[in-house]
Structures are given as structure tokens and as C-alpha cells.
Structure 1
Amino acid sequence: MFVRRGIVVCYIFALLAATGIKGQEPSSQLYGCIAVQPFYNISQHSSDDWFGTGIAVTIAARLEASGITTIALSSPTDSEDTSSGDSVAGTLGAQWTINGSYQRLGEQLRITARLLEISSQTVQRTITLVGLTKDLFSLQDRLATELTAGLGDSTLRSPEPEQPPDQSVQGSDGTQSLPADPTSPATARPEPSQQSNGATQIGILAGRPSIRPTRISTPPLIDGSLDDSVWQQAARITEFVQQTPTDGAAATEQTEIFVTYDNNNLYFGVRAHYSDIELIRANRTDRDQTFSDDTVAFYFDPFVDQQRAYVFSVNGYGVQADSLLESSAQQSMATGNSSSATRPGSGGSSPGSGRGGMGAAIAASMGGPPIGDTSWDALFSTSGTLVEDGWTAELMIPFKSLRYPRRDPDEPHRWGFQVTRTIPSKNEAVVWAPVSRGIAGFMTQMGILEGLTDLSSSRNVEILPTFTSIQFGSLDKATGAFPTETQPEGALNLKYGITPNLTADFTYNPDFSQIQSDIPQIEANQRFPLFFPELRPFFLEGQEIFTVPGQVNLLHTRTIVDPRYGAKLTGKVGNTTLGALIANDEAPGRVNDLTDPAFGKTSQIFVGRARYDLYAESSVGLIATDRQFLNGYSRVIGADARFRLGRTSALTFLYAGSEHRDKEGVERSGPTAHVAYNRQGRNLSYGASVDTVDPNFWTDTGFVHRVDTRSIRTNASYRWWPGNKVISWGPLASYGRIYDFSGVLQDEQTSIGMMSTLSNNIITIANVNRDMERYEGVEFTKTQAFLGGAVSASRRLSAGGFLILGDQVRYSDTPFLGTAVSSTAFLGLRPMARLNTDLTLTTSRLHDPRVDELVFDVKILRTFTTYQFTNRFLLRNIMQYNTLNKTLGANLLFTYRVNAGTVFFIGYDDHYEQGNLLDAVRYPTSALQRTNRAFFTKLSYLFRF
């Protein structure tokens, strides 16, 4: 019962804690800025040295989140004399400094902090706290709260000087860029200013570029041209530097960004210049499918907590894309390094399996700006057009589509902000706020969007009714008949913005019809269950909140098969991110036997999540899951943490326990645990992780790949960045061992290889694996070779794939070591801007050398074709043939999409199977026989208030 009580107690505690810290945030109009110095270690215990930096970073993050400009000094204090640090702070423009010391006294820890005015050397405030060393994190949170409380007092603040209406961009060097005519070419771009060596951007955004948008009364017409008068008044960004191929180098093409806003929306104008218009890659495609195109993207971190960013992008035709970027995801993409990639052949998704397809896979591998989770869809407006020297675009992003801190109308917001531009034909990605490969993470290197005031306080209310009609038929194998049935259904989705940063969702009878289908995976000779990602919109939105580190997925919403209704609460209160999900699933009660106790019954699911943000990309959290059906239940409660350690390293933890009782009354319980350390640097990256999954651990709401394991995994890579034709290259290696709980070695994995990134969007990877695998008590030693790559040298053509050769265990009652060949090859064709075809061939072949016999030879051929008549009207066709069970499927879909919520579908779905495999008597030939067919229509219309 400990899990059941823990679920209730911990989640209520998290809610109360979040409510307790909710309140009015301090004003952001601090005169000047505050410098925070690492605290001095009086005890001189070397094991405690990291306390000083952690305390300083926590205070700096709290100040920054409150809208106060902050500088964090990077050099640790080696004495109690802080005068040198004060001098550096004054040189950097700070008017105030926070310093202090800490001392371990047995099991206790004494921390003293001082707020000092630099010019007069007057101590304005001194705070001393004493507590247990094990309570360091709560002590430093309390210290930050008490030290920063009341900074709105007149003794520390003075009115912010008025800015002229056309004052636009301020960089770290204090220079100003004035607006220019947006329809004229950009002026020559000066060299980027150098950052001071005395400050760091870990956990804060001090010294980063900033932009103050102008406020307008008349909004621009979003038509893709920049001829509205508002763009003459808009704040302007023109200084960009490369992220790839050479971080920090000057951008090779001119870019102009115009920024303005009113009460309800942010407005952006884009002018992308080209020295050669043949470089432009622009296609008319569906939303979220622009990864292979030239795009401009905008990143927003409204809470400046560096935990989550909203991403909006547009291409030359105005095709929009949006995503959510989590701090724990995409870091390797942001820095161009990868030390924790999925091992080839280890059961990860095949290339092109994500929503963005192969274009997203190539874009991610090139080391440019992170893409994020594209399953998130927001309501915003875009338009674009090709012009003589490039392309122009306009975006209107409603504040209702974002979550941001609540402030008084006259209190300015300060958000983390970044602008990026990608030019695939040159392997180039440029950023406004410089991003270094020497720092792990992307959000810690963003700039600042400041000065937004009097934002609309109206609460976001969305009503999304959906009407679906399906006529479907299935082959009756007993009689050969093909009966059909028509089934109309209605659904309702509601969204209510309780606050600008806390949202409630409700869905009734949600329709999850055949608009999308799972990417095919080879099912032959699989030892462990295959993972299929979530595709349903209701469960996709906010799913990143429920993510925890480790080998076990504690919430996999595909286990909620057919919900009658569902509700969610997601958002942020103070420093606490909250998530709650309830659902009622009808699928378990769908049994044919009327006398079965399960007949007509439903299961109830609850998931609760709370995550407290400590400082930059660092947090602690709780998660609880509960599923009940009849007398059975499945419950999990867990705690997790992530700590960023300096510029390049991170430490993650998870501990969770489960209690499970099946319908027969059999009970079992057990824990799972995870700890991992990862370092991602410009050249050297490495990591190690330890995971345990108890033999009796289980969850019906998550996905457990394997139980009864104690594993250790290590990996390392080194990359050189020569530039020119070879952008980067270097070796990589990994080693791992998996034991069961009785101490028997089950798997040993060794891998060495090489990875390179070349010009013309070419990536290559090759490695050799030497493994030991124990199956059914038999020890098998395997050797495999992996070769993969991809190229996207032109707008019209992309290609790639991978090949695995070597030994493979045959998983059967009488296992043996066979010779295997598996591969995936893809080809992307874009003969015109409106037409796109992706061809994918996945194969798996196993040969038994003992008897020289082919065990199986499976091929799956899939074609995915779209024709974009307009930005709203799309025709899509999917064809798929599987040689294992001789099945053929076709899916034709017409889509008319007004926005992310209002859409109309007409579709046709048809499936065939080889006749003599269905029934050799009734169908004696190998001709294909129809097994399923469906016509469907779906209309959803979004009402937003």
C-alpha cells in the first residue's frame, strides 16, 4: 500500500508547495544590474567546493526569472576578500554585488550572504542561515528567496529611463541598431562583439544580446510582403553569427528581422537575402514538414528558466512549423555533438520514423539549431513570398498560444529569446545570440526579449467540436462475406487557460481515426516488445512534462487504447511545473463473452507530475501513475532529478517503485533506478549510466523494454572541426554490461566507430560491434558491422540509409547463431515545389549456417507522397507492402487545413492479404484478397475566445 498512499500524499504535497510559492513576482525595473559571486568555502573541504557555485547560480537564476539583469562571475572565490570580484563586477557594469561564504559544522551547514552597493561599498543586507547539509537545496532556495525579497524598495530601484520609440536592438556591447527600410537590402554587417571573459551564461542570460520590440496600435496585414508602415517603426535585428559549420564565424548571407507587438500578438517580419538565389530551398508542403527547407525560427523561453522553449518557424512560401524544446532533449543537436545516440540496431526508431520524416533526421544530424518536439501544435498566422534577392515572410504569434508569467500591466516582461536561420544548401545555420559548441545546451545561450507590457489578460478558451463518419467493412473469413457498417460519431475538446501559464484540457469521445498510421517496423525475430510512439493530439500536447530519465518509460499513453473521456491540467505555478492526467478507457471491457466480469467495464487512469526548477536546466520532480480495472491495479511512484554541472556536464537520477495486481489477483512489486552522468564538449564528449529494473517491477501505464536487469553503459566520442569540405569528424566508442538480479552476465556490448559530417549535407557513420548475448541459458558471441549515411545535396533529391551485417541470435525454443543482414534505404524526391515522394525499403534476412537454410527474408516497401495544391489543400497517399505476411495497404487522404485546429479530411483506407495465406481452400491462389476497407470524413472547427 506504500505506493497508493505515496501517490496521494506526494502529489498533494507538490500542489500545496506550488501554490505556496505562487505570488506576485518582483518588479523587473532594477536600476543597473546585480553581479553574483561564487560563495567562499570557509571549511576548505574540497568535496564541498561545488556548493559555492550552486548557491550563486540559484540566486542568479531567481533574480533573472524575476526580470532583474544579472551577471554571474565564473571564477570561484579563493578567499573571503571579495574586492577583486567587486572590481570585475563594476567593470562589467554592475551596480550591486551579492557575495558570501559557507561553512560545514559537522552535519550542519552555515551560509552567509551579503548584498553590497559597489560604488559606496555599503552592505545593504546580510542574511545568515543554518541547517543540515543534506538540506542544501532547500537552504539555498530559502536564501535566494529571502535575499531577493523586497528588491522593489525605492532604496534599490529607480525609474527606468524612457527609450525612444525607434530604439531597437541592444547587444552586449551596448551598441544600438536603428530601424531601416525593410524593403531595402541590409547594410554591411559589423563583426560580432566579443563577450567579456569575466561573466558566464550558465543559468542566466547576463551579457547576452537583447531586443526591445516597439509597440503598435495598428497590426500589419500578414501577407508575406513587408510593405506595411509598422515595419518602419519595428525593432530590427541584423547581426547574426554561424552556429554551423563554424560557430562564431560571420554569417555569409544577410538576414533582417523586424519585431513589434500589441496587446494580443507578437509580429515578426523576415527578409532573407541571398547572394545567389539558386541557393534557396523552399517547398510548398504541409505544416511541420519544412526541415529540408531554408527557414527562420523564433525560440521563446518566457519563464527564463531554461527548461522549455516554444519554437515557431516559417519558410519562403510561408509554410509554418512549431515545436516544444525541452532542456533535456536536443542538446546534442544544439552543440553538434552526440555522445548518447541510440546504438544502431538496438531497437531505436528507423530513419524517417518521426513526424518530420527523413528531413528532420538529416537536419538534426547536421548539428544545427535544435528542432524540438513537433507534435505540439499552436495557433499562429504566417505568410511568405519569394522576391528578387531571396524571400520575405510575416508571422503573427498570439500571446494566447504561449504560456508566460503573470505580471502587472505596466511591469515589463523579460523572456529568453533566439532567432535562427538555416541555409541547407550551404550547410549553414546562423543565430542571433551566439551559440558555442563549448557549452552544452541551447537555451542557456539564448538572448533576451524585453520590454513587453500590458499584455492581454483575457484567458484562452478553446472549443473544438469534431464530427466523424466512417463506413468500414471487414472480410468474414468463415463465410467469405464482406459486410459493411456506417458509424457516425461526435467528439468535443475543451481548453481553458486558468492563468497565462496553467491550462486545463478536457476531451469527450476523442476521435483517433485513420488520419495517421504507425511507421512500419520489422516484427520477425524480436526478443523484446516493439515501441510505437504516440500519434494522438490530446495525449501529445504536454507529454514532455511527464518525461523522466532512465530506461523505463513510466507513461506511455498508447496503453490508453480507447478513452471515453480524458482530462489534463498542465502548466507552471511559480517554479513548479505541474501535470495531471485522468482517462477512462473502454478497451479492457471489449470482450465477447457476456458472462465475463470484464464485459462492458472500463479502466481508470491517473497520472500526476510535479517538477521544481532549481536553476538552469536543473530540477527535481515527482511522478505518480495509477491504473485500476476491476480488482486489479498498477501503481508507480517515483522521484527524479537533473543537475547541470558547469558548462558541459549534467547528472540525472530516477528512483521509482511499483505495485501491481493482475486480474487473477497475483501481486508483485519492485523498484527501478537510474543514474547517469554526461559531458558534451566541443571536442570530447563522454557519459556513463547505471540502471536497474527489478524482476517484479511492472507498470500498465508505461513501457518496460526489459526487467530483471542491472546494467552499466559508457560512451565516448571525440570530434574535430576542420571546416571546408569536412565540417567535423571523429571516433566514437561505447561499452556496456547487463546482469540479471542473480548476478549472471546476460549481455556485454562493445562498439567502436567513426562519424563524419561533410559539406553538401552529407553525414556518414560506421562502427563494429562485438557482443555477448545470453538467451535461454545459452551464451552467444556476435560480431556485427554497421554502415550508414545520408545526403541532401539539392532541393530535389535526398537519399541515405544503413546496413547491418553479422551474427544474429534466432529467438526460438531452440536458439542458434545465424548470419543476418538488415537494412533501411530511403530516397526523397521533390521534382517540383508542390510534390514530394519518400520511398523507404526496410529489410531483414536471417540464414541458418548449420543447414544452409534461409530462416526468413522480410522486406517492407513504403511510399509516402504528398501534393500541396495550396498552403491549405493537401493530397496524401501512403502505400505499403510487407513480404512477411504478404499484405498490401493503401491510404489516400485529402486535407483542407485552415489552421492547427480547423481542418477537414476525406480519406480512403484499403488493405489486402495473399489469398492462400488467409484460407487455402477458399482462396487457393496467391492473388491478393481485400481484408479491410474504410471511407471516412472528419471535420473539426476551432473556436477560440
Structure 2
Amino acid sequence: MLHELAILAALAAAPDQEAAVARPVRTAALRDRPVAATYNGYEGQTNVVAPRLADPAINLDGRLDEAAWSEAALLTGFSQFDPSEGIPATQDTEVLLLISEDAVYFGVRAFDDNPGGVRATLGERDTFYRTDDYIQFILDTFNDQRQAYSIVVNPLGVQQDGLWIEGRVGRFGRNFGPPIDWNPDFVWDSEGRVEDWGYAVEVRIPFKSIRFPEAAEQAWGLQVFRKIQRLGFDESWAPVTKDVANRLTLAGSLSGLRDLERGLFLELNPVVTGTRQGTYDAGAKAFTREPVSGEFGFNAKYGLTSNLTLDGTYNPDFSQVEADAGQIAVNERFALFYEEKRPFFLEGTEIFTMPKNLVYTRSIVNPVAGAKLSGKAGSFQLGYLGAVDEVAGSGEPARRPVVNLLRARRDLGNASTLGMVYTDRSTSGDEYNRVFGIDGRFVMARRYTLTVIGAGSRTATVGSGPESGSYLSLQLERASPTLTFNIDLEDVAHGFDAGSGLIPRVGDTRLQSRLEYNFRGEPGALVEQFRPGFDASAFWDHESFWRRETFEEAEIRYGVTTSFRNNITVLLAATARRYDFRAADYDGLYVDDGRGGEAPFVADQDPFGLLHGVGGFFWVNSWDVLRGRVRWGYRQDAVFDLRYGVPIEVGTGWDADIAVYAYPTRHLSAELGFRYQSLFRESDGTLALEAVIPRVKTQYQFSRALFLRAIVEYGAQMRRDLVDPATGHPLLGCGSSGCSLRSGSDANDFGIETLLSYEPTPGTVFFLGYSRQMEDTGRLRFRDVRPTADGLFAKVSYRFRR
């Protein structure tokens, strides 16, 4: 009910789209400025000849008042592609473009008939893509329609950048968000100003910061996007349709690029970190703090050519200035994915990006040193990464495995690729893990994409012989403004081990499909899009699948997503799932008979035959000060034994994931998050597991480079001991060394983090942070919160560049 009331309140206060279509009134000074040439994207004028000035003498201040701008090319005629497709843009946008001897310049006037509605936050770099208005420049410097630079700037000049990589899953999931890797950081300059007619930005991108072919004359792919957050409108200069699988093929072109020189490109980045750790002595009721420890690290980058770069690092720090947000794991059988955050592994590693994680650089836990070579020559893209890792053993001396990652990929046709990957993680000649794979991405009839990956692994450990396994992945997708679908088969043999990757489910075969139809409303309608969809997935044991036996797990889901005017989205869904495990899967599980003996546990599979669930999602981004999302679910599900990976009994419970974002001023922001999961045993109604993770993050931005942040997170995750649902007797896990209770766990962790950060450019930073870890004696009691550890952290680095 609260969801519906919130929707009605937002819609009642919202103007319709027709009102937003009215063009803003411009002053004569803005309207009458001369330019070299005009290119109207809506009329198909998307082949731009780049004007070149030896010394444009542009002072980036967001005013666009330098004489050089009169020599620039003017890009106009934007059109909308979401929520409506192919209609003229609701607001006028003018983009000025020129190049100099060492950089490309953009100047933008983004007009708005409601300047007070422009979303602009003075925030941290790389954080505003889902919150602020922005202008996004796409530069396909190799013009290969596979990969491009994404340079984004908000109305105040705050930066966000990354690499558009076709075939990559977007940050927010498949078919939701562009396929951009936002992790790399490039050095470029920008300024912006909010005016009474909208906003203006100026951008300078040095040639040293990007890669391009070594050619006397070349052309780049060029696209410009504009986002109007309060309305949820996406607009582009070159028209965009969802009727093609590869959006880069729809970009315009930037030609007339002659004799571009990257010049000598050398970066040196020394890093000094210092920490002081403390542990709490409960008896003395005081902290025992270790002496201050410091470390020195060094990163270097050298441009061998304009398209080939060599990187090296010694003792790279993790740069973990913000801990990973807590994830619920009380009923999770498989490894969770965490994003890479270390600078050395972020830049130049796009070649290793694959639809499946055969390469996962966070598997390199504590690198001592590393080297990286990456670039593109003609239609071939190459990448090599080598590192020496340091892995601490439990009560054993630390080991230093050597990691080698090799990747090559060749462009085929207009948008397809064929590649190979090789990974090697070796501690000695008798202990290693090696994976070799071949992959291809084939775009057919512009809208169909077939992705194929085949790989094999060979693993040896001390005291045992080598073990081999295979991996196969097949994906077929259809892109369309209306009917979309995908089919995904992933088969992982029992012996397969991606030691340098992350394949969570080994020994399983998964078949998944999705079908969705998009009904579009008329421009300005209350309902902009109505998308019913159907999902189905099933898991088999690898060998059972090929013997055509029944599945172990299956789920079907029917959902309806409705997008309302002014950036409001509601999803309602119903699910049905089933588990059907074999008796052999429970080998090793026994029941304590209460008389000192044990009997094999025999799970009744009938209760797992049909489990139901309902859920929903609500997203609102139309208000200025408060925005947020709510995801909820009520379901039947299995209580799993996490060691054996099998269902024990049926439980019923709730899921929730809530996030509220507040922006009281342009400098101050706050985020309130809440995650919850529970399951109650249907056999006796008792609580089997529960997780509660509230999180509060507050940040004050003094300037674009300087901010102060505080994070408070409480993580309560509890699992009861496993019992036989028929008798209530404890379950035992038995092996050659005897039997032990399948005990639960109970953790109530409480953490506080503060950070002062100064980062004028990527690589030049000063961090000063303090964290304290505590534990509560009971879930969310806050009566006897006891400290366990604390730490002070500082980091200084400088990026020397020439």
C-alpha cells in the first residue's frame, strides 16, 4: 500500500512530457555565436570533420566564451531513445568539438526549460551516473565498434569515466545499464556551470590519456548522450534504437584526424601507506596497539606506442578506502562476487573481460609485484598480466604462487570477435592450476548475438595426481525495442577449476532463458513502458544432464515491470521453484538418534516439489532531495546444508533490500541501506536463519577533490543448528575422522569507518582513515557492544606524468 501511495504522490506532482517538450528561451548571445559547421544528428548528419587549431587557448571554466569555440564543429539535433524511441529530444543540446595538437575539446550547452530541476551534486568521482544529469561522450578511437572510451561529466564538471565493452554485462545486470566497465580512471579535465537556462560544461581529453591507431589519417566513432534524471529521459546525438545488438554500430564518425601524436607517455606513481592496528584486551578493557607500520609501493606505465602500453607494479596497495558492503550469506552455498578495486588491476585489463569469469583478478590476493602489457594492433587485441602473489597459510609459511594471464582476441566482420585465454597459477612444478579456453562472440542480422566459450583446466596439488575438467557456455540473445529473449547454457564438469577465475558452481549444468515483451506508451503518457516477462532456469548435476536425467533445481518466474512517467519503476513477480536431489548427494550426513548412535539422514524430497514466492521492486528517482528503491519478497525456500550443498527442510520467510538516498544540499549526501533475509522452519515454526544488515553512509564534499565520509554498518547473521525435520534430532557430518554436529553460527558485527580523502586527479591522492570493529552480545541489542579491533590508515601517492 505504501508503494502505491508513493507512486500517486509522485505522479500527482509531476508535469507531463508535453510540457517538457517546450523549448527553453535562449538569449541572443547564445543563439548567434558562429561555428565552423553544423551537424544535425536527427537529420542524419553524423559524419563530423574535426576542426583543428594549433593552440586553441581555451580556459576550462564552463563559460565557453573563448574565440576558439567559434571555429568548432556544432553537433545538434538530439533525439530520444528511452523511454520513447526516435522522437526529437525534449530539451535542446548543443555540443562544440575541436582538436588541438595534443587533445580533443568538447563544449556543451544543455538547455532546460526548468533549470531548477537540473540534477547536479558536488560529489565524489565515478558516483553520479544514476543520480545526476550528465553529458556522456563515447569515443571509439579504433573505430572497431567493439570498445570505446566513455567520458561522462555532470553539470558541475564532476567526472566519471570507463570503457564501453560490447559483450560485457552492465553494472546493473543484463539488459539494464550499458556494457561499461566503470573501474578504469583516465586523466582529463572538465568544468561545469549551472545557468539560468540550463548548464554548460567544457572538457579536454589529452591524447596521452587514450589509445588510438598509429596511422597518418584516421577516423573515430563518435556518440554523445544526455541524461535528464528527473524525467528519466535518455537522449543521443546519433539516433539510437534497441533494434540492434551493438549500439556502437549506430555511432557517428569523427574524421579528418591527421598526424595525431600521443608523444612520450610515461607515468610514475610512488605510493606510501601507513597503518596502526589495535586489538581489544577484554580483561584489561583497553586496546593494545601495534607500532606504526609503513609500506612503499610503486607503479609505472610506459606507452611503447600509441596503442601498446607496458605497466609494472611493486607492492601494490589494495586502495580499499571503503569496505565492501555486507552481503547476506546465511543460506548461500556458493562463492560471492566482489568487484575489483585495486588500481593496477583496473587499468588496461579490459581485454580480460569475458561474459563468464574465467579471469577474476581478485583471486590474486596479495600481489608482491606484477607486470602488464596490453594494446591493439590492427584487428588483434592482446593482453598479458603476470604477478607474484603471497598467500598466508594457516600455521604454515606463506607461499608465493606465480600467476600468468594471457588473452588474445581478433575482430571478425563488423561486430564479431574470436579469442583465446590462458591462465596459469603455479606454486611449484607439482602444484599448479592451468586453464585454456577459446571464445567467440558472433553478431548475426544485427540483432542476434551468439556467445560461445569452451575451456579446459588441469590442476595438480602436492600429494595427488593431476585432475582435469571441461567448461562450456552457450548464449543466444535477441535485441529489440519490443520482443527480447536470451537462452544461456553453462556446463561445468566436476574436475574443472578456474584457479584464476570465479566459477561459483562446479559440477553443475545450468540452463536459463528469459522472454520479455515491451509495450511502449505514447510520449507523455502516464505509463511509458509495460514489460511482462518470463524467466525459467534449471540446474543438473553435470553427469546427470548428459545422461538426460531429471534436474536438481528448477525455478520459473513471471513478472511485470511498469515504468511510469518521471522515472518511477514498479516490478511485481511470482515464482515457483523445485528441488529434487539424489540420495547419494546426502552421503556423509547422519542423524543423532539420541542414544549415542547415528543413522544415515534420509531427506524427504516431497516437500521440495513446489515452493512458491512473490516479490516486488519499487524505484523512484523523480524527487530532488529523496530518492530510493525497495526490493521485497515472501517465499518458501530450502534450508541448505552449506557444506554438502543439499536441502534439509522447507522454510518460509521474507527478503528485503532497501536503499534511501538523501541530497539535502549539493555538498551533503546520505545513504540508508537495509538488507534482510529470514527463513522459519515449516516443521515446527522456529527460526532457522536470519540476516539483518543496516548501513548508513554520509559524505560531505568540500570540493570536487576533497570529501569527508563516515560509514556505520551492523551485520547480524545467524543460522541455527541443523536438525532432522522429522524427529528434531541434530544432524551430524561424518567422515574418516569421525562425526561432528552440523552446527550453526551467530555473528553480530558492528563497524564504523571514517575517511578524509583528497584526490585532485586519479593516482594523486591523500587518504586518512580510521575504523573500529565491534561485536554485539545479541542481535540488535546495543546493550553491551564490545570493541574488538581498530585501525588508523594513511596513504599518500603522486602521479608523475609526461
1:527 alignment partner, one of 321, 330, 333: 333
Instruction: Tell me, yes or no, if structure 1 residue 802 matches structure 2 residue 641.
Output: no
1:531-563 residue CA offsets vs partner (Å, 9 max, x unmatched): 22222121122333112334xx21111111111
- Partner residue in 2 for 1:313: 152
- Within the alignment, does 1:601 sit opposite 2:440 as a pair? no
Q: Give the conservation status (yes or no) of the 8 Å contact 1:331–1:441.
A: no
How many Å apart are 1:183 and its aligned residue?
Answer: 3.9
| Secondary structure class of the residue paired with 1:558 | helix
CA contact (8 A) 1:241 1:432 kept: yes
Shift of the 490–757 alpha-carbon distance from structure 1 to 2, 3 Å rule, reads same
- Report the CA distance between 1:676 and its aligned residue: 1.5
> Residue 572 of structure 1 corresponds to which residue in structure 2?
376
Q: How does 1:542-691 map to 2 (within 5 A)?
A: 542-550=348-356, 553-588=357-392, 590-593=393-396, 599-630=397-428, 631-691=430-490
Residue type of the partner of 2:471? T
Q: How many Å apart are 1:709 and its aligned residue? A: 1.8
Show structure 2 runs of 5+ residues with no match. 1-26, 587-602, 718-746
Cα distance in structure 2, aligned partners of 1:563 and 1:662: 21
Q: Taking structure 1 as reference, are residues 236 and 495 closer, same or farther at Cα in structure 2, changes over 3 Å only?
A: same
SS of the residue corresponding to residue 374 of structure 2 reads strand
Q: 1:894 is matched by which residue type in structure 2?
A: L
Deviation at 1:278, TM superposition (A): 2.1
Distance 1:925 1:821 in 2: 24
3-state secondary structure, aligned to 1:222? coil
> 1:497 maps to what in 2?
303
Residues 1:878 and 1:616: Cα distance change in structure 2 (over 3 Å): farther
Q: In structure 1, what is the Cα distance between the partners aligned to 2:480 and 2:100?
A: 41
**Relative to 1, partners in 2 of residues 1:193 and 1:544: Cα closer, same or farther, differing over 3 Å?**
closer
**1:941 equivalent among 792, 795, 798:** 798
- Residue 298 (str. 1) matches residue 137 (str. 2): yes
Structure number with the higher helix fraction is 1
- Structure 1 Cα separation of the partners of residues 93 and 114 of structure 2: 14
Residue 676 of structure 1 aligns to which amino acid in structure 2? Q
2:61 is the counterpart of 1:223: yes
Aligned partners of 2:41 and 2:75 also within 8 Å: no
Q: After TM superposition, give the deviation of residue 457 of structure 1 in Å.
A: 4.0
Of 217-226 and 305-314, deviating more is 217-226
Distance in 2 (CA, whole Å) between partners of 1:803 and 1:709 is 29
Aligned mate of 1:882, from 702, 712, 715: 715
Give distance in 2, aligned partners of 1:940 and 1:640.
39
Residue 727 of structure 1 is matched in structure 2 by 528
Instruction: Provide the rounded CA distance (Å) in 1 between the counterparts of 2:778 and 2:612.
Output: 38
Shift of 1:439: 2.0
Cα displacement (A) at 1:695: 0.9
- 2:224 is the counterpart of 1:399: no
Shift of 1:803: 0.8
Superposed CA deviations along residues 27-46 of structure 1, whole A, max 9, x for unmatched, are: xxxxxxxxxxxxxxxxxxxx
**Does residue 867 of structure 1 match 2:666?**
no
Distance 1:669 1:234, change over 3 A: same
2:263: which partner in 1?
458
Query: Within the alignment, does 1:238 sit opposite 2:64 as a pair?
Result: no
- Corresponding position of 2:109: 271
Q: Deviations over 1:599-620 (max 9, x none)?
A: 1431110010000011233100
Aligned to 1:483, the other structure's residue is in SS state: strand
1:717 to 487, 511, 516: 516
Deviates more, 1:489-498 or 1:454-463: 454-463
SS of the aligned residue for 2:664 comes to strand
Please name the residue that 2:229 is paired with.
424
**How far 1:389 sits from its partner (Å)?**
0.9
User: Which amino acid is the alignment partner of residue 521 of structure 1?
Assistant: Q
Q: Is the 8 A contact 1:182 1:271 kept in 2?
A: no
Structure 1 partner of 2:502: 703
Structure 1 residues 925 and 748, CA, compared in 2 at 3 Å: closer, same or farther? closer
1:237 deviates by 1.2
CA distance in 2, matches of 1:323, 1:728: 29
Q: 1:797 to 1:668 in 2, by over 3 A?
A: same
- Say whether residues 1:507 and 2:313 are aligned partners: yes
How far the C-alpha of 1:497 sits from its partner, in A, is 0.9
Q: CA deviation at 1:915?
A: 5.2
Q: How does 1:166-205 map to 2 (within 5 A)?
A: 183-184=30-31
Letter in 2 for 1:883: A
- Cα 1:830–1:211, aligned 2, differ >3 Å: closer, same or farther? farther
Q: Secondary structure at the match of 1:247?
A: coil
Change in Cα spacing, 1:316 to 1:796, as seen in structure 2 (3 Å) is same
Greater than 3 Å deviation, 4+ residue runs: 180-187, 189-195, 330-333, 475-482, 590-593, 774-779
Corresponding letter in the other structure for 2:710: N
Instruction: Map 1:811-850; keep pairs closer than 5 Å.
Output: 811-812=640-641, 815-850=648-683
* Corresponding residue number in structure 2 for 1:910: 772
- Return closer, same or farther for 1:477/1:570 CA change in 2, 3 Å cut-off: farther
Alpha-carbon contact 1:712-1:737 (below 8 Å) kept: yes
Quote the Cα distance in structure 1 between the aligned partners of 2:113 and 2:196: 11
| Offset, 1:871 | 1.2
User: So what's the TM-score if we normalise by structure 2?
Assistant: 0.84
The number of residues matched between the two structures is 706
**TM-score, normalising length: structure 1:** 0.72
Which residue identity does 1:854 align to in structure 2? Answer: L
User: C-alpha displacement at 1:744, in angstroms?
Assistant: 4.4
SS at match of 1:494: strand
Alignment partner for residue 856 of structure 1, among 672, 689, 694? 689
